[in-house]
Amino acid sequence: MAAPTPSLSPRERAPLVTDAIPPSLRRHGASPRQMLAICLIGAIVLAFFASADTPGWAERLGDSWLDHRLRTITGAWDEAMETLHLTDPHERLRAAMGRALDWQWGGAGD
């Protein structure tokens, strides 16, 4: 005869999910205010270190007065970030990717 299985309380039972997040971590998440703060911090970090791409993005917007204003703002922002040398990591990463794309990968017989 098989041994009886212990009864689990509702707190101990894990929901049937496929993402492998433990139930204890699933119950304690971030508040909406914390999520907003993290999103804003991420946007600020992107604005600082990815400013080299914003003028190109603004060029593709269109031809309204708002688009022209955004082009002016993004150009000034990129110049300010370049003055502070915050575009250097972006440029180094771009140069490294360019070098990697230029490599000639040898075949198996080489």
Pick 59 or 108 by higher pLDDT: 59
- Angle, alpha carbons 63-68-69 (nearest 5°): 145
The pLDDT score that the predictor gives to residue 107 is 47
Mean pLDDT (whole number) for 92-109: 77
Place of tokens 């139930």: 23
Residue 85: which region, alpha, beta or left (left: phi > 0; alpha: psi -120 to 50)?
Answer: left
How do residues 46-83 score in pLDDT, each as one tens digit?
888 888 888 888 888 888 888 889 899 988 998 998 99
Q: What is the pTM of this model?
A: 0.54
Q: Quick one: which of 46, 48, 72 has its CA closest to 59?
A: 72
Q: Quote the CA–CA distance of 59 and 45 in Å, as a whole number.
A: 22
